[in-house]
Structure formats: structure tokens, C-alpha cells
Amino acid sequence: MSGGVASDGGFNPRLIAGVVAIGVIAFIALWALIALGPQLSSGNDGGGHALSKAAPGYAGIVDLLERSDAAVDLRRREEAPMLEDPELLILTPGHTTKADDLARLISEQRGGAVLIILPKWRTGRHPSKAGWAGGGFASAPSPKMLPPAAGRIDKIGSEPNARGAQAKGHLGGSPMALTLPNLRTQVLNAPDLETMIAFPHGGAVLAKQPDAAIYILSDPDFVNNLAFSSRDRARAAAILVDAVAEDAGAYSVAFDVTLNGFGSQRSLLRFAFVPPFIGITLCLIAAGLLALWQAWMRFGPALKPARAIAVSKAALIANSADLIKQARRELDGADAYVRSQRSAIARRLHAPDGLDDAATDRWIDKHLRVGGETFSALARRLPLARNTHEFLADAQALHDIRKDLLRDSQ
């Protein structure tokens, strides 16, 4: 057996308090991260969105536009802010994005300019490098991913082109020529849309809805991080975005990231951790901590409920006296009280046998000090008491005589 000293108790109060405190803090932090996680995330996950620094992402064009003193916003909410100047909203959907999600964001723009950059690359996360894209391949999206508001698109496909070929058109009132980045380019065929920049062999690289300021860029390699492999392509990407904004009459650019899972949608859980409701949440947390502290710092053991009727002679006497008082029968016990005092004194002082009550009273009087109240006088007067005050006074006098004669406190 171990020779260590046994602990005084089964648990250490400080240790238990620490465990409870850590549990409460962890619980609150968990729900806060669940509510605010998408909004606080850096987003550098290798995907195709404005927060990603991987090849299919758009962090490069965002950084370049900011360095060019352009007004750029990363929008994490579906609701468009109320702005004085028009804004170009850039949507970067993925292959699994639904048409209803795109339609909702276009509707929230309230007629403002929208640029939809179609997805092209299907990639995974790099197994060892965080923020890098893993092995990927080009895959054209389905035309059904676009909502009816964007116009009817017949086909989105990959088309071959000669090295160094250019896609030409007019944008923002000026001619535009884009050098095709690869030997194959993703092109859309949409007869109902206005071709802004045409592919050399037919189809459109950039098209516009005739009845709305909705632009569709078929190949993301013109503006994504792959375009920043050279200075010329990076400059062309910035010129393309600036030309679309100029053609739409927009003064600022906003990149949406809600389609890629980094939005802060409306939810009661999120509202609990943002102004103005964060104050109520903090008050509730403080109230819970105070309740926990009160339970922890309770003084002494828990109080047990007392018996309705105490178990003792004193309790029995008190209960009996209370019953007599409630029945208003205090004066009816005078004769019994006199007999009990007479009997106790006669027995203790060994009074002669055969004495009646009057003779016993005179015998007791002989043992009293001269000049005081006699026992016989009190015994006659007590049953004739008219109220409780007279009764208590004479009863106390009889009790004092008994104390003097018997030298006890009964």
C-alpha cells in the first residue's frame, strides 16, 4: 500500500471551481465562434473567392485595386448597403452554387451593376500547405446555375485557341483587347445577351444583359490569381474590372463572399453577440455567474425543515398552555394549580396524615415567615380571580412560597 497521506476530502473545492469556470467560458466561446465564425474567418482556404490567395482565388485583384486607391469592399452580408454612389458587385459562384442564391443577391442590389465571374476550376485543398489549392482540373459549369435575371445562356464550354490570340470588343466606350491566357478558353454562347468582348472563333468572353446592368465573365483566368503570374496580365485584369465599372457607371467595387460560405446571415445566435444585443447577452452571462457564485458561497449546510411539533417536555407544556390560552380557559385551572402546590409542599415537608385541605393549609402557614402572605389566604383567593392579571399574581405568589419552603425551582 502507498504510504502517502490521504486527502481530507473527496474533491478539492478550488479545482472544482476552476473546472466549472473553464467549462462556462468554453461553452460561451463555442457558441460565439459558431455565430461569428464565418465572419471572422480569414477565408484563405484555397477556394475560388475574394478571400483566397490560392490560384483560383481573387485576393490578388482585390489587393491591386486597393493599392490603386479604388474603393473596394468585401461583402459578408447579402443585404446591399445604402450608398450615394453606384457600386459594382462582383459575384464569384462555385460549381455547386444555386441559381436562387444568385437571383437573391442580384435582387438585393436593387438594379445596381453586377459582374458574375463563372467558375472554371475544380480543386481541393493542398494536403500539407494551408491556403494552397490541391490538384485541380478545368470543368465548365452548367448554364442552369445562372438565374433568369441574367438572361438565357445556351452553352458554356471550353474552346481551343491559338497561342497569343486575343479577344476583342468595346467596353466603357473604348476598344478592349484581352490576350487569352491559355490554349483553351471557357466561352459562353448566349444569343440573347450583348457580347462586350468576343472570342475569336465565336461566342463571348464577356457578355451583358441588354435590359439590366448584369455582366457575365466566362473565364475567371482573366482576373483570378492565375492572372498575376505576369505583370502584363495583372495590369489587364485591373483594366478589365475598371472598364466594367466604368461601363456600368459604378464608382466602387464590392466582392461578395456569401456565396462561398463566409457570410454573416441573419440569425438569433449571431444577434446575441453583436450590437446592440451584445449588452443583453453580457447581462445574462453576468447574472448566471452571480447565481453560480451565490450557490458556491452558501453559508453553512442547507437548513432542514423543523418539526411542526417539537419533541420535549418544554414543548409539551408550551403546546398545552397554548391550547388553554386559545380556548380562553386559563382561570379554570386555579383549583388544580392550588391542589398541585399544596400536595407538593405537604409531601416534601412530611405533613401529618389525615389532614383535610384547610388543615393542610394552616399547617403550611406555620412554616412561613411571619408578616408575609399566607398560603391559606392565597389558596382561597386564587380560584376567585376575575382576570388573568390577578390569576398570574396569586399563582406567582404560591410558586414563590413553594420555592422558599422546598428550596427548589419547580
Average per-residue pLDDT in the chain? 81
pLDDT at 409 over 70: no
Q: Is 172 left (phi over 0), alpha (psi -120 to 50) or beta?
A: left
Band of pLDDT at residue 245, cut at 50, 70 and 90 = very high
pLDDT at 107 over 80: yes
CB-count exposure of residue 49 (10 Å: 0-12, 13-18, 19+)? buried
Phi, psi of 49 (to 5 degrees): -150, 180
101-105, 137-141, 193-197, 292-296: which range is least confident on average? 292-296
The grid coordinates of residue 83 equal 450608398
pLDDT at 307 over 60: yes
Residue-wise pLDDT for 184-237, tens only, equals 899 999 988 999 999 998 899 999 999 889 999 999 999 999 889 889 899 999
Strand runs (DSSP E) across 172-262, as ranges? 174-179, 184-189, 194-198, 204-208, 214-217, 252-256
Q: What is the pLDDT of residue 223?
A: 93
Band of pLDDT at residue 4, cut at 50, 70 and 90 = very low
Greater model confidence, 161 or 47: 161
Residue-wise pLDDT for 14-39, tens only, equals 777 778 778 878 877 777 666 555 55
Band of pLDDT at residue 272, cut at 50, 70 and 90 = low
Residue-wise pLDDT for 155-185, tens only, equals 999 999 878 889 999 887 789 999 888 888 9
pLDDT at 136 over 90: no
The grid coordinates of residue 330 equal 386559563
- Domains of the chain as residue ranges with CATH: 13-41+264-297 (no CATH), 43-261 (3.40.50), 313-406 (no CATH)
| Measured distance CA(241)–CA(319) in Å, rounded | 97
- The number of C-alpha atoms within 13 Å of 197 and in the hemisphere containing its C-beta is 27
Band of pLDDT at residue 392, cut at 50, 70 and 90 = confident
Q: What is the pLDDT of residue 390?
A: 82
